[in-house]
Chain A
């Protein structure tokens, strides 16, 4: 086997690094897009209906046409296993989320606390802040 008499400088053999750089640029755009949720949006989560595998499967199946997957019974009369598979997969995933997922919450210290009361001297109002972080648990539904 032959190599060129004049070789490409090692500092220019950077295909791997170029690929990594371009991947980073694409990835940067991907992560930049995710918006941070505002506090009201988080509070409004109480109104969410929760996950329902049948509704989600129906949504997924309704989008099959976007990628060219047929929906409904196939032309030769056989059942559409792709639809059944989608429903099964989503059911398994949602089941895991609803049964196994755990949400650990950590609350920063510094939450303002206000209390009022009274003693012999008259009414007392106390204002302070939590000094230690708090924890909480949640369930994915």
Chain B
């Protein structure tokens, strides 16, 4: 084989300039720019996840924001209006005007909005007050049932009776079954790649854990089993784990906060002290997500209460037979359980209430996170640019100082020359002079 003799001929300045320019233009043209494909909204990161990501990047632990959310969800002054809004919206979609008991066929979006407002005003004026009283009376039970749905069956039957608010075993089993059915029904995240089989597998796993009353949480890459205390009363009624429970305070949001601390304490005992806070924080996120996912179950009694109040002859006296014609829904369809929805996922009417309620709660949560984030980012950006400005000013001053140093150096050199002249005059006679 012949030897490949390489040719190494130099280029002139003009030739190399042209070659360089052509090369750079070519590479700029051939470089494929990074293009972001248009991702459908349902496949993008959800707004909730994105806000949490930003908070994490800013080093903010969102637990206190979750607690604000829980407080609001268990506040009758906020939630009664939201519950009635769900009711008003659903009837409006069916063209029902609850005030005048008339129906608009095929209502457009503007009509629906108008009807929703009318219906909400009507419902608030008719049953707003009694609903607030009913909510105030029921919210402690709602929080306890949430705890039961999260932690599952307790070893001690009296604890199950206490959490479920009933000694009816069938009812207790129904609450636990709803916890399994409701777990994956609504997700706060967009999961474009999740498989049906995975969801089913998770439900089976959850069922086993709920029956056992031991829920697992991943803390620092380790699974830690957590459970409610043997006597969960102290969480909701004050007192301590080893002391006599106090009287009910009807502050269920505080109870849920204590529940988060309890999980942190358990992890501290079972895992490591340093993981206590991270476990409590991770659990707080889980509680908020479960609160939204299980809302159709937890708030069901409130929707039934709306029907009960409206069927009162002194209010409207709408009987069960008249419900469908009046609201556009009957009680059973509107308050379908999570398991009913899961059995027939294509039945849009059956899941209307759950869809509305879950989304209204998600909107509330996103609102809390976003409002906080806007304030925080405003402050952060202001601080950042102010600091940058201070640094820039400092550098500018240093630059000025250096310039003055140059001017000063001229004067300094003149002084040095004067000193040298004087010194030379004194020592001149000592310096040996070269003979020419």
Question: Which residues of A approach B to under 8 Å, CB–CB?
Answer: 1-16, 18-19, 21-22, 25-26, 28-30, 33, 59
Contacts and interface: CB of A to CB of B under 8 A. Distances in A.
Contacts of B355: 6-7, 9
Nearest to B181: A5
A106 B345 CA distance: 68
Given A5-B185, A12-B363, A29 B385 contact: yes
B341 A25 contact: no
B42 A26 contact: no
24 contacts: A1-B192, A1-B195, A3-B191, A5-B185, A6-B341, A6-B355, A6-B358, A7-B355, A8-B42, A8-B359, A8-B362, A9-B363, A11-B363, A13-B47, A13-B190, A15-B47, A16-B41, A18-B50, A18-B51, A19-B50, A22-B374, A22-B377, A29-B384, A33-B389
A2 B373 contact: no
B6 interface: no
Contacts of A13: 41-42, 44, 46-47, 190
A18 B359 contact: no
Interface string B337-353: 00001100100000100
Nearest to B391: A66
Going nearest first, the 8 A-B pairs with the smallest beta carbon separation are: A29-B381, A13-B41, A6-B186, A9-B359, A2-B196, A5-B345, A4-B187, A15-B50
Interface of B: 41-42, 44-47, 50-51, 54, 184-188, 190-196, 198-199, 341-342, 345, 351, 354-355, 358-359, 362-363, 366, 370, 373-374, 377-378, 381-382, 384-385, 389, 399
Contacts of B374: 21-22, 25
A5 B341 contact: yes
B227 to A, nearest CB: 28
A26 to B, nearest CB: 5
B190 A8 contact: yes
A59 B198 CA distance: 58
B155 to A, nearest CB: 32
Contact of B378 (A5, A10, A29, A33): A29
A70 to B, nearest CB: 21
A33 B184 CA distance: 48
Contacts, number: 96
What secondary structure prevails in chain A residues at the interface with B? helix
A28 B377 CA distance: 11
B362 A6 contact: no
A115 to B, nearest CB: 42
A6 B354 contact: yes
Contacts of B362: 8-9, 12
Contacts of A14: 47, 366
A28 B385 CA distance: 11
B192 to A, nearest CB: 7
A3 to B, nearest CB: 7
B377 A25 contact: yes
A15 B399 CA distance: 45
Given A14-B366, A15-B45, A16-B41, 16 more contacts: A3-B42, A3-B191, A4-B187, A5-B341, A6-B355, A7-B42, A8-B188, A8-B362, A13-B41, A15-B46, A18-B47, A18-B370, A21-B374, A25-B378, A26-B377, A33-B385
A5 B342 contact: yes
Most buried by B among A4, A6, A13, A25: A6
Contacts of B366: 12, 14
A95 to B, nearest CB: 14
A22 B379 CA distance: 12
Chain B CB within 10 Å, residue with most, of A4, A10, A22: A4
Contact of A22 (B44, B45, B54): B54
A19 B46 CA distance: 12
Contacts of A25: 374, 377-378, 381
A16 B50 CA distance: 10
B130 to A, nearest CB: 29
Interface centre among A8, A14, A29 (most CB of B within 10 A): A8
Nearest to A31: B385
B194 A6 contact: no
A22 B373 contact: yes
B131 to A, nearest CB: 24
Contacts of B345: 5
